[in-house]
Amino acid sequence: MTASTNKHRTRKCLVAITAALLASAATGANAFTLEGPPKVAFIYASSAQDGGWNEALEAGRKAVEEQLQVPVAVTENIPEEATKLRAAIDLYVKRGFNIIVGTTYGYSAPMAEAAKAYPNVAFLSASGTNNGPNMESFYARTYQGWYLAGVAAGQATKTKKIGILAGFPVGVVNWDINSFALGARSVDPTIETVAVFTNSWWDPVKEGQVAQAILDQKADVLATNLSATSALDAAEKAGVPSIGFQLDMSHAAPKTIQTSVVFRWEKYLVPTIKEIIDGSWKPEEFGAFEGLDKGVVDLAPFGPGVTEETKAKIETARQAIIAGTIDPFQGPLKKQDGTVVVEAGGKLDDAALWSMDYFVEGITGTMPAKQ
Amino acid sequence: MTAAQKTIAGRVDSLPGTPPALDMQGIGKAFDGKPALEDADFTLEWGEVHAIVGENGAGKSTLMNVATGVYAADSGHQSIDGAAIAPRSPTEATVAGLGMVHQHFRLVESFTVAENVLLGLGKKSRVRSASEAAALVSAKSAEIGLPVDPHRIVADLSIADRQRAEIVKVLLLGARILVLDEPTAVLTEDEARALLDFVRRLARQGNAVVLITHKFREVAAFCDRITIMRHGKTVLSGAQVEGISEEEVARLIVGETLATGGRPDSQPGALRLSIKALSLSARAHGQGLHNLELELREAEVLGIAGVGGNGQEELVACLGGLLRPASGEIILGGLDIVAGTPHERRRAGLRVIPSDRFATGMIRELSIADNMALTSVSEGAFGGPLFLRRDGMRRKAEMMIDAFDIRGATPERSAALLSGGNAQKVLLSRELGPGMKVLVAHSPSRGLDMKATQFVRTAIRQAVESGAACLLISEDLQEVLSLSHRVAVMNRGTIVGCRAADDVTPEWIGALLAGHA
Amino acid sequence: MLDAAFLVRRQQPGLFLSALSYAGGLAFGLAISAMLLVQAGVPASALIDEFLVAAFLTSDGLSQTVTAALPLILVGLASAVAMRVRFWNIGVEGQLWLGAVAATWVALHEIGPESLRLPLAFVLAALAGSGWIAISLVLKQRWGVNEVISSLLLGSVAFLLVQHLLFGIWRDPANSFPVTAAFPQASRFSALGWGQLHAGLFVVALIALAVWFLLERTRAGFYADAVGLNRQAALATGLPVRRTLAGLVLLSGALSGLAGMVVVSGTEHRLNQAVGNGYLFSAIVIAYLARAKPFWVVVVALALGAVFTAGNVLKVFYGISEGMIVLVQGTVLISILMAQFFSTYSLNRPS
């Protein structure tokens, strides 16, 4: 398949989604109303205490339970298969649960089907792609946080080489890496970023080895885009500044950690579920996609080695992003190979963010070929 | 005068009042409601060799399995050397002094003889190492005059060697009463004679031996007393062998007198099968074939005598198409079938009765009807190209069961449940069917009772009289001599001599067999 | 103690005895499982309700059970067919992945006219599955490579291929996630309006019937039994051993491939990294408990579908962990196997 047909497919897909949304918008012009007392259920694909993604959502769930005083049920280990997920949803709905939160992108499409079958139940899909009159996907503009992390790394590096390891080459991962690199280059445009995919979401041993390999290439700041802390352990041992992800990972590298890019899902989940209960919820057409402004993405408290100058620079960047005066992916933006993605003055739209499948200029590393 | 007090030549007398070695009275045993033993009695005295004779399924092995604790009796009493005992396991029986050597040896093939003994002695024994066990084996072997090398791996031993190892093992475990279940069925004449000599010697040393056998010759030459069983009952209990005739024994075994066999009444005709320069390289545990040549005519039985293990299995496998010879020709009806598949050979008219029925002839787990149809189904019988008419197979099986008088058989019954003789009848009913031109029969009456043996021989005779050619390969010289027009002798993978049956002399055949060092 | 009692093989276990021991084993296993679950915090009163009622006696539960059973029937048959000829197909998952890939290819690339999409996917999935197992077959027949090893390893290779596709050309075009776009309507089995049950039900029913017919009523089925039970004897009696072996092994692969197609076209409507997981274990369990008999494969697959349904209930409402669910399944399986053992052997105690 050539790049152009691929682009064509993407467009076709978006057109289809938009058409579907328009069609549903006609019927769903009114806010969603809940029937019966609110009962919330969270469904996880693996353990809720995974030390990363699920645990960040689990923190959000606890906040919902405490702040809204509603019953919240939890089910773990439901595989990303339509039959298994649907069965769990059916069971919850039958017992009066009317707010269902799915926690992985693999749940999105089956949840959309369930949403059609149960129009009076609200569905929230973390990192999902489907939306509708009673369903909203939500994700965070993590790249904004990673831009700030990039600033921190740019300030810290002396070798002008920083490293990041990540799981799989998907859009939400690629934008973190790219934004990290761009944040660092906003400090010094000569900084080079080494990016390596581990091709796994969780593999502590391999992550430790990859981290060491990156350090061996003379990178002197190490960031991890994964849930395990092996990279931070390696950095702590080498005395190299590090950056964590998803949760505050300072426990793994108390001396060298700079900060962690963290999710604060309660900032989305609590108000959204409150709206659902109040009867004022209107799902976003393209899903909820909040960032630093709402605080859904944030940085964990800084580590001991972060200078006041760095902190000030980060704060300036944060305010600029919130104000909209900078966008990490504003033009001019070039790919690794030098082709221009965005001209000066422009910026990437959300669809382009989601389908990001390239590294930007300044990154050393191989993006697996699409074909 | 009781049997125990009567003296015969050479036998150690039991003193009056000495308890019998093994005494079983009124033993009953049923399997799933079917009686296998009914009120069976058996008394074994110290110092004697006691034969138990009977048809397949008469209850000989079951009785001895009860005695040795393999099965628990439903009723009856048993004592060993005067002490009442109902052994709950073979181990318990052996500890009490009673050990059995089964037809299928209880030896771990990948272990050495000494290791097997060590394993058999178990935890309670003081013997802790294989080398101690090896010393025991060597000592016992020397004491009783039965050569066994304790250090050899069982898998590398010949059948006769394994049997000796098993006997030494059982004796080392403490047995003074030895039960041998058809020990000579797997042996050559010489080996059998050596074994029976030993058995007799063992008894004379004050032990006691039970010999389960089919062969009257062995009874007459080596046993003191005989017990005959029929349909789970004792029909003759502990009679002196002296003064009892073969006819009398045969009558008691089968309840009728048997006709003795004879050669097919036919004149050999045109050449049917010729094997030219057949060679096969020796495999891991087998004998090779070297330039083997033979010719077989229609309406002729060519008997191949020889000590087992001289290439008979390999020759049959090459003929049947299970082994591919290195070189040579097998010409059947003018056609070289040496490269043909088993299926093509069958179509050319070749039929094989293998020595081990359930290895290559029949499938134990399948029903009798399935086994009977095995060959014809692949030739398109019973139904269309896709659909299989099982009712047709069933009817055919019913006919065959009637025609061949296969006892205890219904079409649905699993072939595994048949006795040896009846299983052989199932095989014959299938192989002697239409289209047969050459019959290769390898030890067709091995392990069968007298009646079944007669049946097999009659079936072969009739087939040959109606024009078939038969290659009869057997280690039983009597069988070869009684059926064959010509006799060939096989030794070390080739035919070492061949002459008309009438010209065969004991000297000639003895010399050729003795060529086997 | 070993010699206190000993086992005697029964001559021919009766049908009644077999059925009784099977039921006894099942009851015993369920009783132990119930104890485990109560121990783990499921109220005893809820057990029957959740286990039996939810899995079989409610409309939703039953449709869920049947839906889950459809691919299980196919992989169970795949395993059973290979078991009949004593070929250990440990690569059921690999063939399933390949079948799913074939069906996904037809769906995403819109191959052929719409009305022929499902039939085409059906044929290609079957071919892909049998093509995958053909590698193990050839390796075994040519070079004597043990099929247990080769088919198992090829299963991993198949999964890597799926990953390659999902992270490559088939990743979600909207966000690059390793999930394919949803299948067009023409590539989905139509819903039957009863839970998630879909028209694949009829396909699976026909396949099951056809496999039953093949094994129990045809010449090839007869050959298969003979070849499986005693290869040497089958060869010696002139049966087409190689052809039978090859035919049934390829059929086994095809059935696994079709299971993959039924999963993606029936319920998932897309390919992701999770759809094929766990089927190998299920396939072996089903074929073993059913003693490779097609009718019993269907029965056992439905029972296993029910266990999944009930397991889901336990997970959702009682916070029972995945490990506990597997433990319960294992307990039931072991109990039934023990019961089978005692229907084959009788325990003799000296009187």
Summarised one tens digit per residue, pLDDT across range B81-130 is 988 988 888 888 888 899 998 877 788 888 899 998 888 887 777 787 88
Q: Which of B71, B342, B358 sits opposite C235 (nearest CB)?
A: B342
User: Roughly how many angstroms between the first and final C-alpha of chain C, as a whole number?
Assistant: 17
Q: State the smallest CA–CA distance between residue C239 and chain B in angstroms.
A: 6
B positions 16-55 inside 8 Å of C (CB): 31-32, 34
pLDDT(A356) > 80 = yes
Contact call for B377 and C222, based on CB within 8 A: yes
User: Three-class SS of residue B148?
Assistant: coil
Interface test with A, best of C315, C317, C325 (most A CBs within 10 A): C315
Residues B16, B93, single domain; the answer is yes
Nearest to B265 by CA among B101, B115, B394, B458: B458
Residue finishing a domain among B253, B281, B302: B253
- Using only C-alpha atoms, chain C has a radius of gyration, in whole angstroms, of 22
What confidence score (pLDDT) does residue A201 get? 81
Tokens 């060959």 map to which residue? B375
Contact call for A355 and C176, based on CB within 8 A: yes
Type of residue found at B271:
L
Chains that touch B (3 or more CB pairs under 8 A): C
CATH, domain A142-262+329-364, list 3.30.870.10, 3.40.50.2300, 3.30.1200.10, 2.60.40.1190: 3.40.50.2300
The CATH number for B289's domain is 3.40.50.300
| Distance between CA atoms of residues B362 and B370, nearest Å | 9
Is there a contact between A265 and A62 (Cβ–Cβ < 8 Å)? no
B72 touches chain C (CB under 8 A): yes
Is there a contact between A246 and A58 (Cβ–Cβ < 8 Å)? no
Residues B7, B80, single domain; the answer is yes
What confidence score (pLDDT) does residue C37 get? 85
Contact call for B359 and C238, based on CB within 8 A: no
pLDDT(C13) > 60 = no
What confidence score (pLDDT) does residue B9 get? 41
Q: Which of A9, A78, A168 sits opposite C167 (nearest CB)?
A: A168
State the average pLDDT over residues A176-192.
96
Residues B423, B470, single domain; the answer is no
Q: State the smallest CA–CA distance between residue B152 and chain C in angstroms.
A: 29
Q: Say which DSSP state A327 is in.
A: -
Residues B180, B85, single domain; the answer is yes
User: Per-residue pLDDT tens for B372-417?
Assistant: 999 888 888 888 888 888 889 999 999 999 888 887 788 888 888 8
User: In degrees, to the nearest 5, what angle opens at C-alpha C214 toward C-alphas C209 and C219?
Assistant: 155
Q: State the smallest CA–CA distance between residue A95 and chain C in angstroms.
A: 10
Q: Which of A95, A170, A370 sits opposite C178 (nearest CB)?
A: A170
Q: Which residues of C touch B417 (CB under 8 A)?
A: 11-12
- Using only C-alpha atoms, chain A has a radius of gyration, in whole angstroms, of 21
> Is residue B104, in this structure, part of any structural domain at all?
no
| Distance between CA atoms of residues A251 and A264, nearest Å | 18
CA nearest to B417 within chain C? C11
Contact call for C350 and B370, based on CB within 8 A: no
pLDDT(C2) > 50 = no
> Is residue C40, in this structure, part of any structural domain at all?
no
B277 touches chain C (CB under 8 A): no
Residue finishing a domain among B406, B434, B462: B434
Q: Where in chain A is the domain with CATH 3.40.50.2300?
A: 26-140+265-290, 142-262+329-364
Nearest to A273 by CA among A66, A47, A10: A66
Contact call for C236 and B388, based on CB within 8 A: no
Contact call for A355 and C68, based on CB within 8 A: no
Contact call for B86 and C351, based on CB within 8 A: yes
Q: Which residues of C touch A17 (CB under 8 A)?
A: 174
> Is residue B319, in this structure, part of any structural domain at all?
yes
Q: DSSP states of C23-67 as a string?
A: HHHHHHHHHHHHHHHHHTT--HHHHHIIIIIIIIISHHHHHHHHH
> Residue C191 class from Cβ within 10 Å (0-12 exposed, 13-18 middle, 19+ buried)?
middle
What confidence score (pLDDT) does residue B507 get? 65
More confident residue, A265 or A201: A265
Contact call for A87 and C321, based on CB within 8 A: no
| Mean pLDDT computed over every residue of chain A | 88
pLDDT(A17) > 50 = no
Residues B441, B430, single domain; the answer is no
pLDDT tier at A6, thresholds 50, 70, 90: very low
B91 touches chain C (CB under 8 A): yes
> Is residue C13, in this structure, part of any structural domain at all?
no
pLDDT(C5) > 60 = no
Q: Which of C217, C220, C237 sits opposite B375 (nearest CB)?
A: C237
User: In degrees, to the nearest 5, what angle opens at C-alpha C304 toward C-alphas C299 and C309?
Assistant: 125
State the average pLDDT over residues A170-180.
93
Range of the domain at C99: 72-297
Range of the domain at B377: 362-434
pLDDT(C51) > 50 = yes
Contact call for C233 and B91, based on CB within 8 A: no
When mean pLDDT is compared across A272-276, B421-425, C208-212, the lowest value belongs to B421-425
| Mean pLDDT computed over every residue of chain B | 84
Q: State the smallest CA–CA distance between residue C214 and chain A in angstroms.
A: 31
Q: State the smallest CA–CA distance between residue C86 and chain B in angstroms.
A: 14
More confident residue, A209 or C167: A209
Tokens 């595994």 map to which residue? B416
Contact call for C232 and B71, based on CB within 8 A: no
Residues B441, B328, single domain; the answer is yes
Chains that touch A (3 or more CB pairs under 8 A): C
| Touching chains A and B? (3+ Cβ pairs < 8 A) | no
Is there a contact between A152 and A164 (Cβ–Cβ < 8 Å)? no
Q: Which of A9, A73, A77 sits opposite C173 (nearest CB)?
A: A9
Residues B70, B40, single domain; the answer is yes
> Is residue B58, in this structure, part of any structural domain at all?
yes
When mean pLDDT is compared across A124-138, B20-34, C2-16, C254-268, the lowest value belongs to C2-16
Residue finishing a domain among B206, B221, B253: B253
Residues B478, B463, single domain; the answer is yes
What confidence score (pLDDT) does residue B32 get? 61
B positions 311-340 inside 8 Å of C (CB): 320-322
| Distance between CA atoms of residues B434 and B455, nearest Å | 19
What confidence score (pLDDT) does residue B254 get? 60
Residues B339, B287, single domain; the answer is yes
| Distance between CA atoms of residues A139 and A127, nearest Å | 5
> Which stretches of A92-251 are assigned E, i.e. beta strand?
99-102, 122-126, 135-140, 161-166, 192-197, 222-224, 242-246
- The CATH code of the domain at A26-140+265-290 is 3.40.50.2300
Residues making up chain C, counted from first to last: 351
Q: Which residues of C touch A171 (CB under 8 A)?
A: 175-177
> Residue C65 class from Cβ within 10 Å (0-12 exposed, 13-18 middle, 19+ buried)?
buried
Residues B401, B272, single domain; the answer is no
Q: Which residues of B touch C218 (CB under 8 A)?
A: 386-388
Interface test with C, best of A15, A91, A355 (most C CBs within 10 A): A91
Taking one residue from A and the other from C, the number of pairs with CB-CB distance under 8 angstroms is 118
Is there a contact between C117 and C108 (Cβ–Cβ < 8 Å)? no
Nearest to A303 by CA among A314, A292, A318: A314
> Is residue B494, in this structure, part of any structural domain at all?
yes
Contact call for C167 and A169, based on CB within 8 A: yes
| Distance between CA atoms of residues C165 and C171, nearest Å | 7
**Which residues in C have their CB inside 8 Å of a CB on B?**
2-6, 8, 10-12, 217-223, 225-226, 229-230, 232-240, 348-351
Q: Which residues of A touch C263 (CB under 8 A)?
A: 81
Number of domains in chain C: 1
> Is residue B112, in this structure, part of any structural domain at all?
no
What confidence score (pLDDT) does residue C11 get? 55
Residues B288, B372, single domain; the answer is no
What confidence score (pLDDT) does residue C3 get? 41
State the average pLDDT over residues B71-76.
89
> Is residue B134, in this structure, part of any structural domain at all?
no
Residues B388, B472, single domain; the answer is no
Number of domains in chain B: 3
State the average pLDDT over residues C184-212.
93
What confidence score (pLDDT) does residue C12 get? 57
pLDDT tier at B257, thresholds 50, 70, 90: very low
What confidence score (pLDDT) does residue C145 get? 92
Contact call for C219 and B91, based on CB within 8 A: no
